[in-house]
Amino acid sequence: MVTQRKEKDGTSQTSGPDAAEMAKNMAKAAEQCHMILQEFLSRNGQDIGNIPFDPLNIGKAFMELFTNMMSDPVRLWEKQISLWQDYMSLLQTTTQKLLGEDQKPVIEPDSRDKRFKDQAWQESTVFDFLKQSYLLTARWMQSSVTDVEGLDEHNARKIDFYTRQFVDAMSPSNFLMTNPEVLKATLNSKGENLVKGLQHLLEDLERGKGQLRISMTDQSAFEIGKNLATTPGKVIYQNDLIQLIQYEPTTKEVNKTPVLVIPAWINKYYILDLQPENSVVRWMIDQGHTVFIISWVNPDEKLGKKSFDHYMMEGPLAAMDAIEQATGEKSISIMAYCLGGTLTAITLAWLHAKKLQDRVKSVVYLTTMIDFSEAGELSVFIDEEQLQLMETRMSQKGYLEGSQMAMTFNMLRANDLIWSFVVNNYLLGKDPFPFDLLYWNSDSTRMPATMHSFYLRNMYQKNMLVKPGALKIAGVPVDLRTVTTPSYILSTREDHIAPWKSTYASTQIYQGSTRFVLAASGHIAGVVNPPSKNKYCYWTNNALPKSPDAWLKDAKEVAGSWWPDCNNWQKTYAGPKVPARIPGKGKLKPIENAPGSYVKVIV
């Protein structure tokens, strides 16, 4: 507790935190630490002997780095001298600040870096010194590993990526004694923040069954079907891999051509139907589209042998047949997201080979890669050693754990998606803030072993999809250069999963009329950007030069959401107006209400 003492003038003076209370909370924290250690050992101790010494094959990459560094000692010495000079400048400016002089920082964090937003990082000379010395060291480490010549390209990327992971982990903001905000919270709460933080850590270990699954949001604040994925509709078809949802219309008349939405199966479909105010699905319905969406199953060991062929046959092709039964329409339009777009492109090439191309009138691709030659930082995880390790693990259960895939994506933005929550949840002891997008991000899905191995090897490792006829799906060689279906291709400028310059490559492959649009922000926020928010912007350019940089140079910036632009494009292929279609009034009767049961399976 906080105590008060009487001064001679009769006023009260508050003293520092009660030492007994602080000691009590520190004892609780120690007890919690002991529980966490026991939990970890009991759940994971038996598996330690089965883990390869270097499962990601990082050691070989860094050995190559050090060998090349030693071959050029002059450059290595120059780097050391440069760092020493930076430190000397920092010591000089820090000394002058201690003497009361104003000094410009030697180095400042990026304006988007949220780790050092607390005022103490600027106002306190000690913490400012800690911050700047860290930033100087981080810059030196990153430049030291990126400037080495003669490295294998894949190893160079791996070294750069894991060096940044180490640099991010070592930030002074991640530790109790070097984070002023955490120190202040510890003193003010008499250590209760640490007790609560350790309780959060125990709960996350329990939720992950021994593996740390950091809570990014208040899990109790959301429920699928209650305040997420709430757009009214019916499941009208299902098989082993999908449930097909048909949504209730909100207009008396609708466009004749139905729209099938094909999301990625790496995550759940409701990223496109979060809440009413940011639902892509609901907005499309309000524009007069008859909307269907695929809800992929969250596979278990029984589906481990499902192949990429199955995902096409039982996914989009089965959905097309079901839509024809439900509406009488043989031709549809498609909107596909991320990996769902990759599958859509393959399906279209397959349909063209079968002379069935008229079944799809138009396609909207959202952040979709088909050329994986420049796959961004995800390529760091794709080499023979890592694929073999992943396949060995998948063979034990028949699938890849969803948490492993989620951690891979989170590592791409470690400061935002890992360390910020470590500080907030475990050091500050705060409850995670309720956020629908982060709830979805944590709602991970499994990957069937056969399909996932095929996808990683043939797309990421071998880049077979852009080699005409090299990839066979359901017995048919697919060639994306035969696809003449009109395409609207949306990419996002800060996408760390499907880099926009890589997605732009599809404009040079498809043979049909193509519109390329680049939205601001990233893989999720750039897509889920409703017009009502009047947020971000997008760029358009009717010309499609070979170079993405040339496209952007002459592109026009447009304020607001890309949704209306896309809808205007879709109208060209939407057909005349017809009476609104009610789910269940066609040949297919409802199985259950949306969002269905497949999406509710938790791993």
Structure confidence by residue, pLDDT tens digits, 236-279: 999 999 999 999 999 999 999 999 999 999 999 999 999 999 99
Per-residue pLDDT tens over the stretch 91-146: 999 999 898 888 899 999 998 899 999 999 999 999 999 999 999 999 999 988 88
361 and 239 belong to one structural domain? yes
CA distances from 169 to 160, 172, 416, 422 (A): 14, 9, 12, 10
d(CA 35, CA 41): 10
Do the domain assignments include residue 215? Answer: no
Beta-carbon contacts of 205 under 8 Å, excluding residues fewer than 6 positions away, are 36, 39, 40, 43, 211, 212, 213
d(CA 404, CA 401): 6
Does pLDDT of 4 surpass 60?
no
Write down the pLDDT at residue 24.
64
* Residue that the structure tokens 């310059």 belong to: 501
Q: Please, which residues bridge with residue 17 across strands? A: 2
360 and 484 belong to one structural domain? yes
Angle at 119 between CA 113 and CA 123, to 5 degrees: 120
Do the domain assignments include residue 88? Answer: yes
Do the domain assignments include residue 26? Answer: no
181, two tokens: 């905000």
Does pLDDT of 380 surpass 80?
yes
Does pLDDT of 603 surpass 80?
no
356 and 500 belong to one structural domain? yes
Write down the pLDDT at residue 53.
44
164 and 267 belong to one structural domain? no
Write down the pLDDT at residue 271.
97
Do the domain assignments include residue 589? Answer: yes
Does pLDDT of 399 surpass 60?
yes
Write down the pLDDT at residue 119.
94
CATH number, domain containing residue 288: 3.40.50.1820
List helix spans (H) across 6-57: 19-44
Q: Are 165 and 414 in contact (CB under 8 A)?
A: yes
237 and 377 belong to one structural domain? yes
CA distances from 54 to 51, 60, 63, 515 (A): 8, 9, 13, 45
Beta-carbon contacts of 57 under 8 Å, excluding residues fewer than 6 positions away, are 383, 385, 386
Q: Please, which residues bridge with residue 255 across strands? A: 577
Does pLDDT of 506 surpass 70?
yes
Which has the minimum average pLDDT: 190-204, 356-370, 400-414, 489-503? 400-414
pLDDT-based confidence at residue 316 (cuts at 50, 70, 90)? very high
* Of 243 and 49, more confident: 243
Quick one: which of 545, 547, 522, 544 has its CA closest to 535? 522
Q: Are 279 and 352 in contact (CB under 8 A)?
A: no
Write down the pLDDT at residue 379.
82
Question: Would strands 487-492 and 476-478 be described as parallel, antiparallel, or unpaired?
Answer: unpaired
161 and 241 belong to one structural domain? no
Q: What mean pLDDT is predicted for residues 323-345?
A: 97
d(CA 430, CA 197): 7
Does pLDDT of 182 surpass 90?
yes
Report helix, strand or coil for 361: strand
Does pLDDT of 1 surpass 90?
no
237 and 331 belong to one structural domain? yes
* Of 438 and 17, more confident: 438
* Of 21 and 185, more confident: 185
Do the domain assignments include residue 218? Answer: no
272 and 363 belong to one structural domain? yes
* Of 67 and 314, more confident: 314
Write down the pLDDT at residue 27.
59
Which has the minimum average pLDDT: 6-20, 199-213, 515-529? 6-20
126 and 260 belong to one structural domain? no
d(CA 58, CA 53): 10
Write down the pLDDT at residue 322.
98
423, two tokens: 């500080």
**Amino acid at position 592, single letter:** E
- 461 φψ region: left (φ > 0), alpha (ψ -120 to 50), beta (else): alpha
Which has the minimum average pLDDT: 37-46, 88-97, 500-509? 37-46
pLDDT-based confidence at residue 13 (cuts at 50, 70, 90)? very low
| Number of domains, the chain | 2
What does the chain come to in residues? 603
Do the domain assignments include residue 198? Answer: no
Per the prediction, the chain carries an average pLDDT of 89
450 and 580 belong to one structural domain? yes
pLDDT-above-70 percentage for the chain: 90
112 is in which domain, residue-wise? 52-190
453 and 590 belong to one structural domain? yes
- 596 φψ region: left (φ > 0), alpha (ψ -120 to 50), beta (else): left
486, two tokens: 């009109």
DSSP annotation string for 473-524: ETTEEE-GGG--S-EEEEEETT-SSS-HHHHGGGGGT--S-EEEEEESS-TT
Q: What mean pLDDT is predicted for residues 331-351?
A: 97
Do the domain assignments include residue 171? Answer: yes
d(CA 252, CA 427): 54
Write down the pLDDT at residue 46.
46
Does pLDDT of 3 surpass 80?
no
**Count of Cβ atoms closer than 10 Å to residue 597 Cβ:** 15
Per-residue pLDDT tens over the stretch 521-576: 999 999 999 999 888 999 999 999 999 999 999 999 999 999 999 999 999 999 99
pLDDT-based confidence at residue 154 (cuts at 50, 70, 90)? confident
pLDDT-above-90 percentage for the chain: 68
- Among the listed residues 33, 338, 537, 566, the single catalytic one is 338
262 and 130 belong to one structural domain? no
Q: What mean pLDDT is predicted for residues 457-467?
A: 94
**How would you label 288-302 residue by residue, b for 16+ Cβ within 10 Å and e otherwise?**
bbbbbbbbbbbbeee
Say whether 338 is catalytic: yes
Host H or E run for residue 254: strand 253-255
Write down the pLDDT at residue 226.
95
pLDDT-based confidence at residue 148 (cuts at 50, 70, 90)? confident
Quick one: which of 469, 266, 257 has its CA closest to 367? 266
- H helices, E strands: number in the chain: 21, 19
Which has the minimum average pLDDT: 75-89, 342-356, 375-389? 375-389
Q: Are 364 and 335 in contact (CB under 8 A)?
A: yes
Do the domain assignments include residue 69? Answer: yes
Write down the pLDDT at residue 33.
59
Phi, psi of 337 (to 5 degrees): -115, 125
Question: Would strands 291-296 and 259-262 be described as parallel, antiparallel, or unpaired?
Answer: parallel
